[in-house]
Amino acid sequence: MRRGYKWVDRELARMDPETDWERMISLYVSHRVPEFALAMMVYPGTMRMMQPSMGADTLAHTTKLETRPHRRFQDGNDFLMAWMVDGLSSAAGRRAAERLNRIHLSVARRTPQLPGNFDHIDDFIYPLVLLATFGDRLQTSLGLPGMSEHMKIAWHRWAQALFRLLERESGPLADEAFPEDWNAMTEFALKFDSRPYTQTESGHRVATAMMDFFAEHWFPAPFQAFGRDLTRYLAGERVCRLHRIGWISPRRERVVRAFLKSAFRAQRLLPDYRTPLPERLQRTRRTHAQLKKLEP
């Protein structure tokens, strides 16, 4: 392992996605995914998740995305590393699921004005489907090759297993139905995205805060307008219009597409990461004191 210029695909090809899916996801995320890709997935993905008005109202109520975005991004990375790299069968993976369940229940208790805001099964399925299919959907939308079939199986098994560990307000999800395969997941996402949703002030406020943080955190001042365009493109036109954060002109859309295509092509040429993603994240991790200074 870890010999040669491009070694991850060679290791993945030796594994059986039906039985080794947990190791496959861990290897892929650890040594193929840059930190920037997590941000591209998390922030526009959250905009998509809060298409239902209750989801937007709940996120606005917690205020964490608006007032403590650095902490929110760091906490989100901790959850993803526990589930994707440590693995769902690990102690860290299960503790992370239990912690998220406690957070959801606590927020549900503090928001009696939003009854059942953590009780809709689709609102649990959709984020997991987004996490599993994000890379493939983005690459194929750009006209690039998508994910291999054996990685699609592994990602589906991962999303399904994480779903079984989560709980909604009225009880565990372990016995509830989850899309049966990769195609069913993508079909579910298309149907979820095509439902009629209502514009809300909370959705506009939170989406604007996320877009601004993504641009300001990852791009120097002269390029922050491009960072906002990138966020919009990844969220999609329908979502941007729902949250009233504007859409991009055809010329700017071509610039974003060219940037993304170049990034994916560079990834195919560059060597696989030898340092695991959790270690790379640790280098830029802020302490509690540093976060307090950033987010008083």
Distance between CA atoms of residues 243 and 201, nearest Å: 8
Q: How far is CA 53 from CA 24, 128, 169, in A?
A: 36, 19, 18
pLDDT digits (tens, 9 = 90+) for 157-184: 999 999 999 999 999 999 999 999 999 9
Long-range pairs for 287-294: beta carbons < 8 A, 24 or more residues apart: 291/68, 291/70, 291/71, 291/74, 294/70
DSSP state of 6: S
Q: Which of these, 173, 126, 127, 180, lies nearest to 156 by C-alpha position?
A: 180
Q: What number of other Cβ atoms are within 10 A of residue 26's Cβ?
A: 23
pLDDT digits (tens, 9 = 90+) for 185-200: 999 999 999 999 999 9
Distance between CA atoms of residues 148 and 10, nearest Å: 13
CB 189 within 8 A of CB 130: yes
Distance between CA atoms of residues 103 and 151, nearest Å: 31
pLDDT digits (tens, 9 = 90+) for 228-285: 999 999 999 999 999 999 999 999 999 999 999 999 999 888 999 999 999 999 998 8
Residue reference for tokens 């002030």: 201
